[in-house]
């Protein structure tokens, strides 16, 4: 079963507006990652936040992590039509010799031009 | 293109047939993962290789599924006696040991399987 749950499931905004997506998870994590998936394309890694970090920025992306609430949020500022995609959070669980990504069900973002 | 590639991109088959998918990871990556993604859901972990050794398998991987990575480079995922419930996108990812905490995985475009 999947660990993370994104909220909302779908989001429609106007170009230029900010988009906020939330992710909740169940178990302790090593870190949390956000991925983007465009229609017909593979998953693209956006940003990683470690379990001992609270906030991280990358360009127009801002990620927060609250381990006490087992939740994370992804903020996309000044959205563009090209940001239209599905966004997934993935928690990282340690296997014996590597890491396993456990994905949520995703938020489908539509940015209207 | 030096990314992860998968072949075929689409496969339509009849129930009961066997299918095989191929994944070519980024050349220097020694870790390779298979995931399955159904419509409206996030990817679910299936199995993982470090070099040629298959180190972990999900309970999702029934006896009809088998994965190999014979020379530690490309990998194949075979599904025998396909069922309609096997219809999904099969994603391959690779990563490199030692790239640090968290193991960023690079995904291929996926193989979309439709079982009629």
Lowest model confidence (mean pLDDT) among A9-18, B40-49, B91-100: B91-100
State chain A's mean pLDDT as an integer.
89
Q: Which residues of A touch B101 (CB under 8 A)?
A: 30-31, 50
For residue A4, what pLDDT is reported? 66
Model pLDDT, residue A27:
83
CB contact under 8 A, A4 and B40: no
**CA–CA distance, B75 with A87 (Å, rounded to integer):** 27
Q: Which chain B residues are Cβ-neighbours of A44 within 8 angstroms?
A: 107
Q: pLDDT class for A23, splitting at 50, 70, 90?
A: very high
Taking the CB of residue A76, how many other CB atoms lie within 10 A of it?
23
Cα-based torsion angle of the residue sequence A76, A77, A82, A85 in order, rounded to the nearest 10 degrees = 20
Interface of B with A (CB under 8 A): 4, 31, 33, 35, 40-45, 48, 50, 55-56, 91, 93, 95, 97, 101-110
State the sign of the Cα–Cα–Cα–Cα dihedral A49, A108, B33, B47. Answer: positive
How far apart CA A65 and CA B109 sit, in angstroms, is 29
SS3 of B86, please? Answer: helix
Taking the alpha carbons of A18, A23, A28, A33 in that order, is the dihedral positive or negative?
Answer: negative
CA–CA dist B60, A26 (Å, integer):
20
Secondary structure tally for chain B: helices H, strands E: 0, 11
Contact A100 B4 (CB under 8 A): no
Task: Check B42 against A99: CB less than 8 A apart.
Answer: no
Nearest CA in chain A to B9: A40
pLDDT above 80: residue B26: yes
* Number of Cβ within a 10 Å radius of residue B14: 8
Region B57-72: what's the mean pLDDT? 90
Res B97 pLDDT > 80:
no
Average pLDDT over residues A17-38: 91
Kindly tell me if the per-residue pLDDT of A1 is higher than 50: no
Under the banding of pLDDT at 50, 70 and 90, the label for residue A111 is very high
**pLDDT tens for each residue of A64-94:** 999 999 999 999 999 999 999 999 999 877 7
Q: Tell me, what's the pLDDT at A66?
A: 95
Average pLDDT in the A10-18 region?
96
pLDDT recorded at residue A24: 93
Which residue do the tokens 């419509």 mark?
Answer: B39
Report the pLDDT averaged over residues B73-99.
92
pLDDT of res. A94: 73
Which helix (H) or strand (E) segment holds residue B77: the answer is strand B75-79
Q: Which residues of B touch A33 (CB under 8 A)?
A: 102, 104
Closest by CA position to A61, among listed A38, A34, A82:
A34
Q: What is the mean pLDDT of chain B?
A: 91
B22-51 as b/e: b if 16+ CB within 10 A: ebbbbeebbbbbbbbbeeebbbbbbbbbbe
pLDDT of residue B99: 58
Structure tokens at B105: 């995985």
Higher-pLDDT residue of A40, B30:
B30
Work out the widest C-alpha separation in chain B, in whole angstroms.
43
Q: Which of A82-91, B48-57, B59-68, B95-104 has the lowest mean pLDDT?
A: B95-104
For residue B15, pLDDT beyond 70: yes
- Comparing C-alpha atoms, which of B61, B37, B53, B48 is closest to residue B105? B48
Contact B89, B35 (CB under 8 A): no
* Interface residue of B102, B106, B108, B111 to substitute, partner A, most A CBs within 10 Å: B102
Question: Is residue A106 within 8 Å of residue A7, measured between CB atoms?
Answer: no
């Amino acid at each position: 079963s999947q660990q993370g749950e994104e909220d909302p499931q779908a989001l429609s905004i106007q170009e230029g507006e900010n988009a906020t997506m939330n992710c909740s998870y169940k178990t302790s994590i090593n870190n949390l990652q956000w991925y983007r998936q465009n229609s017909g394309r593979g998953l693209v890694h956006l940003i990683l936040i470690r379990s001992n970090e609270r906030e991280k920025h990358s360009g127009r992306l801002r990620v927060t992590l609250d381990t006490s609430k087992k939740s994370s949020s992804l903020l996309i500022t000044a959205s563009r039509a090209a940001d239209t995609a599905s966004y997934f959070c993935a928690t990282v669980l340690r296997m014996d010799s590597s890491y396993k990504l456990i994905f949520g069900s995703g938020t489908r973002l539509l940015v209207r031009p | 293109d030096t990314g992860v590639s998968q072949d075929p991109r689409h496969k339509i088959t009849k129930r009961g047939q066997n299918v095989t998918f191929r994944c070519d990871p980024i050349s220097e990556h020694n870790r390779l993962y298979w995931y399955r993604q159904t419509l409206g859901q996030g990817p679910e972990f299936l199995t993982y290789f470090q070099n040629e050794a298959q180190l972990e398998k999900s309970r999702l991987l029934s006896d009809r599924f088998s994965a190999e990575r014979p020379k530690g480079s490309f990998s194949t995922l075979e599904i025998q006696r396909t069922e309609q419930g096997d219809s999904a996108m099969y994603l391959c990812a690779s990563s490199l040991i030692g790239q640090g905490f968290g193991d960023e995985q690079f995904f291929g475009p996926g193989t979309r399987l439709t079982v009629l």
